[in-house]
Amino acid sequence: MIENTFCHIDGIGTKKEELLWKSNICKWDDLEKKLKEGFKLSSLLNNKNHPQQDLFPFKYNTLDDFSHSIIERLNQSKQALDKCDYNFFLSKLPPKEHYRLLSTCIDDALYLDIETTGLSKIVHDVTVIGALYKQKFYQWIWPENLDLLWELIKEASIIVTFNGARFDLPFLEYHFPHKFIQKPHIDLLYLARKANIRGGQKIVEEKLGIKRNKQLENILGYDAIILWTHALYGDSLALDKLLLYNKSDVELMPRIATLLCDRLIRQDFNDKRDTNSSQEIEIVHHTIKFVNLRIEWNNRRTNLNLLLGKISKSEENLPKIIGIDLRGNPDKPTGFCYCKGAETVTKIVYEDNDILEETLKLKPDVVSIDAPLSLPKGRVSVSDDSPCREKGGIVRAAERVLWSRKIPVYPALIKHMQKLTQRGIDLTKILSEKGIPVIESYPGAAQDILGIPRKGVDQSLLECGLREFGFVFSEDLTHDELDAITSALVGFYFLANQYEPIGDDQEGYMIIPIKNRQMKWVDEKVNGKMKAIVMAGIPGAGKTTLAKKLSYELKCPALFLGHELRRIAKSNVQLSTMLAQGSLAPEDAVEEIIKEFSNQTDAPFGIVDGYPRHSQQIELAGTLFSDIIYVVLQIDVDTALQRIKNRITCDNCGWVGNRSERDFSACPICACIDLKIREEDNNQVLNIRLKEARHRLDELLSIIPLKQKFFINSDDSCKKTCIDIMKNVLKRSL
**What CATH superfamily classification does 95-297 receive?**
Ribonuclease H-like superfamily/Ribonuclease H (3.30.420.10)
pLDDT at 668 over 80: yes
CB under 8 Å to 291, separation ≥6 — which residues? Answer: none
pLDDT at 195 over 60: yes
653 φ, ψ to 5°? -115, -10
Q: How many residues does the chain have?
A: 734
| Overall average pLDDT of the 633-645 stretch | 84
- CA 536, chain centre distance (Å): 27
| Overall average pLDDT of the 42-55 stretch | 52
Q: Nearest-5° angle of CA 10, CA 13, CA 14?
A: 145
Exposure string for 293-331, b = 16+ CB within 10 A, e = fewer: bbebbeebbbebeebbebbbeeeeebbbbbbbbbbbebe
Predicted confidence band of residue 728 (pLDDT cuts 50, 70, 90): low
| Overall average pLDDT of the 236-245 stretch | 92
User: Are 88 and 98 spatial neighbours (Cβ–Cβ below 8 Å)?
Assistant: no
Between 648 and 39, residue with greater pLDDT: 648
pLDDT at 161 over 60: yes
Q: What is the pLDDT of residues 652-661, one digit of tens each?
A: 888 888 887 7
- Alpha carbon of 591 to those of 377, 390, 581, 619, 620: distances in Å? 43, 55, 21, 12, 8
Q: What is the pLDDT of residues 265-298, one digit of tens each?
A: 887 766 544 444 455 667 676 556 777 888 888 8
Residue (of 609, 430, 442, 453) closest to 536 by Cα position: 609
Residue (of 504, 342, 395, 515) closest to 445 by Cα position: 515
Q: What is the pLDDT of residues 393-420, one digit of tens each?
A: 999 999 999 999 889 999 999 999 999 9
List, in sequence order, every residue forming a beta bridge with 160; answer none if it has no partner. Answer: 111, 186
Exposure string for 351-368, b = 16+ CB within 10 A, e = fewer: eeeebbebbeeeebbbbb
Q: Please state, in angstroms and rounded to a whole number, the distance separating the CA atoms of residues 506 and 483.
A: 27
Do 303-513 and 530-732 show the same overall fold?
A: no
Between 172 and 691, residue with greater pLDDT: 172
Q: Please state, in angstroms and rounded to a whole number, the distance separating the CA atoms of residues 100 and 271.
A: 13
CATH code 3.30.360.10 for 303-513 = no
Domains in the chain: boundaries: 2-83, 95-297, 303-513, 530-732
Predicted confidence band of residue 141 (pLDDT cuts 50, 70, 90): very high
Q: Please state, in angstroms and rounded to a whole number, the distance separating the CA atoms of residues 278 and 274.
A: 11
Determine what percent of the chain falls in helix, strand and coil, rounding each to the nearest 5.
45, 15, 40
Q: What is the pLDDT of residues 580-598, one digit of tens each?
A: 776 778 888 899 899 888 8
| Overall average pLDDT of the 113-139 stretch | 92
Q: What is the pLDDT of residues 66-108, one digit of tens each?
A: 678 888 888 888 898 888 888 888 888 888 888 888 888 888 8
Residue % of the chain over a pLDDT of 70: 89
State the chain's mean pLDDT as an integer: 85
Q: What pLDDT is recorded for position 280?
A: 61
Q: What pLDDT is recorded for position 277?
A: 46
Q: What pLDDT is recorded for position 517?
A: 62
Q: What pLDDT is recorded for position 37?
A: 82
- Alpha carbon of 202 to those of 114, 118, 246, 252: distances in Å? 15, 18, 12, 10
Q: What pLDDT is recorded for position 348?
A: 97
What does pTM read for this prediction? 0.81
| Overall average pLDDT of the 302-316 stretch | 83
Q: What pLDDT is recorded for position 255?
A: 93
CATH annotation of 530-732: 3.40.50.300
| Overall average pLDDT of the 228-254 stretch | 92
